[in-house]
Amino acid sequence: MPGKNWTTQKAALAERIEAGGRYATGKLVQPGDLGEFFEAVLRAGDRVCLEGDNQKQADLLAQALAELNPARVHGLHMVQSGIVLPEHLDMFEKGIAKRLDYSYSGPQSARIARMLFSGKIELGAVHTYLELFARYFIDLTPNVALIAAVSADRDGNLYTGPNTEDTPTVVEATSYKSGLVVAQVGEIVERVPRVDIPGDLVHFVVPAGKPFFVEPLFTRDPAAITETQILTAMLAIKGIYAPYNVRRLNHGIGFNTAAIELLLPTYGEQLGLRGQVCTHFALNPHPSLIPAIEAGWVEQIHCFGSEVGMEDYIAARPDVFFTGPDGSLRSNRAFCQTAGLYACDMFIGSTLQIDLAGNSSTVTTNRVAGFGGAPNMGSDPHGRRHPSAPWLQAGKEADDTTPPLLRRGRKLVVQIGESFGAKNEPLFVERLDALSLAEKLNLELAPVMVYADDVTHIVTEEGIANLLLCRDKDEHEQAIRGVAGYTEIGRQRDRKMVERLRTRGVIQRPEDLGIDPLDADRNMLAARSMKDLMTASGGLYQPPSRFRNW
């Protein structure tokens, strides 16, 4: 195309850098100048990634952005993993931001629902992390990325430390497509401990004078684990981990999977499973996994992010974790989500609602929590081509007619929980609240966390339902009712059909697996308190103060 200007984006970036440079010394912008700086570099309608996920937050930049004058900066399109801080929503209240594409909104689930209902937010979609990252490179590329790091040197080289998480992905998509990158850092140093982000990709650096905020989202106090959770965990270990030989997996963040982690060195050891299961994880550094790591169960773990208080423990166990030349953890959410999708044979996690088909969701009528890693990890990747024993076995159970050489394997996608959850809410429902929400908001898709056709097993205190072995819709529904306990769904089961499914091994009860109810005891946990976890780590794990009660 003769005469066409092919470098408009580079020119726009140069203008932004020049405009921002008026408030900077070199690359350094002082926090007090952020208001004027943002007004200089941001344009109405910009696509902005304000870094924040379920763990780390560019909190200083979020505050400054929310304080802008909407007459000067407005209509931003936010494309970010997490809506977590109040400021993330304040900017929509004020009109600074208008459109939203995101993944997770746990702590803001009630307020974001209200704002969606009142039309304050124009919602693009609720994504899985990997899906949103993918769109950063196709049709949601940020014009501006506001990110967070531990430290920077004067050239803008960044050290992101153990909580690297989304940063490399965000910077890659933004900076290489002529977008502007602004980083808040805890401190300016002469030389960063390791270069996580090269300085030539970073245009401005804001010394925040304090570390960015990190939520200890993956810490579960063993003291809060109940005996029915222990029973449910024993069912999972003996009825799924052992027979499928699940070595490569991801765990959710709930108490059920924390119970499993704490039963490995005790119950798992009794079953002779060490070295046979749970050797490779795509997982954040869960404190509740410390006893199993110390007992030699785990060969390696790749992490999405870090976990508050686990830094010294991780640095002292580089054979298990991915660490940099500086010794600290290198996490990376995009790579770990990819690892969880393609290189793990099982996802196991809890949920809030499961319907009769097996669809599950954490959305309730008045809360939009978005998604964590579950919908990605809890899905069967059709692009997978490498065999493994659990994958092949699950594929065979689902389809015993296709010739083995042409048969797809199946990822094990396990939903685990007690039949009644918090506040006595039933886990099993006729209809997901997510559907009512979608109708109320006129969404084209209900926010389903794990789709029925991906779920392979449901585990409750009543037993395990193996949905791979169900041959029709009726069997599938009765298998779910058969482990739904004393919920309405469970009490309306066809008892004869459930007993038939049990004789076929589609449903397995604790007694069918030889599990003694007396073993469902808190003494079975390898650690029964936060202090036990600290002791198990040899004092290397430093629990955050809110988890210390001694």
What 3-state class would DSSP assign to 345?
Answer: coil
Query: What 3-state DSSP class applies to 102?
Result: strand
Minimum gap (Å) between residue 529 Cβ and other proteins: 17
The alpha carbon dihedral of 86, 91, 94, 97 has a sign of negative
Alpha-carbon distance of 328 to 319, in angstroms, equals: 12
Taking the least distance from each CB to other proteins, the nearer of 137 and 486 is 486
CB of 485 to other proteins, least distance (A): 6
In angstroms, give the least distance from the CB of 462 to other proteins.
8
Q: DSSP letter at 211?
A: P
Rounded CA-CA distance 265/297 in Å is 8
What is the phi/psi pair of residue 186, to 5°?
-65, -35
Residues 472-531 that bind other proteins (CB under 8 A): 485-486, 491, 510, 516-518, 520
- How does DSSP assign 374-437, residue by residue? HHHHTS--TT-----HHHHHHHHHH-SSS-GGG-----EEEEE--SB-GGG-BSB-SS-HHHHH
CA–CA separation, 164 and 78 (whole Å):
21
Q: Residues 57, 85: contact at Cβ < 8 Å?
A: yes
CB of 413 to other proteins, least distance (A): 23
Among 461, 467, 475, 482, binds other proteins (CB under 8 A): 461
Tokens of 185: 């850092």
**Helices and strands, number each (H, E), in the chain:** 21, 22
Pick from 80, 160, 419, 537 the residue near other proteins by CB under 8 A.
419
- Applying CB under 8 A, among 103, 164, 364, 460 the residue interacting with other proteins is 460
Q: What's at 256, amino acid-wise?
A: N
Which segment (38-46, 250-258, 326-334, 419-427) binds other proteins by CB under 8 A? Answer: 419-427
Tokens representing residue 52 in the block: 């924040």
In terms of CB distance, is 413 or 483 closer to other proteins? 483
Rounded distance between C-alpha atoms, residue 12 and residue 70, angstroms: 22
The interface region with other proteins, picked from 314-322, 336-344, 366-374, 457-465 by CB under 8 A, is 457-465
With CB under 8 A as the rule, give the number of residues binding other proteins.
19
Instruction: Confirm or reject binding of residue 256 to other proteins (CB under 8 A).
Output: no
Which residue from 109, 163, 184, 228 is in contact with other proteins, where contact means CB under 8 A? 228
Instruction: Determine which residue in the list 221, 261, 380, 462 makes contact with other proteins, applying CB under 8 A.
Output: 462
* Nearest to other proteins of 474, 499 (CB atom): 499
Which residues in this chain contact other proteins in the complex, by CB under 8 A?
226-228, 231, 418-420, 424, 460-462, 485-486, 491, 510, 516-518, 520
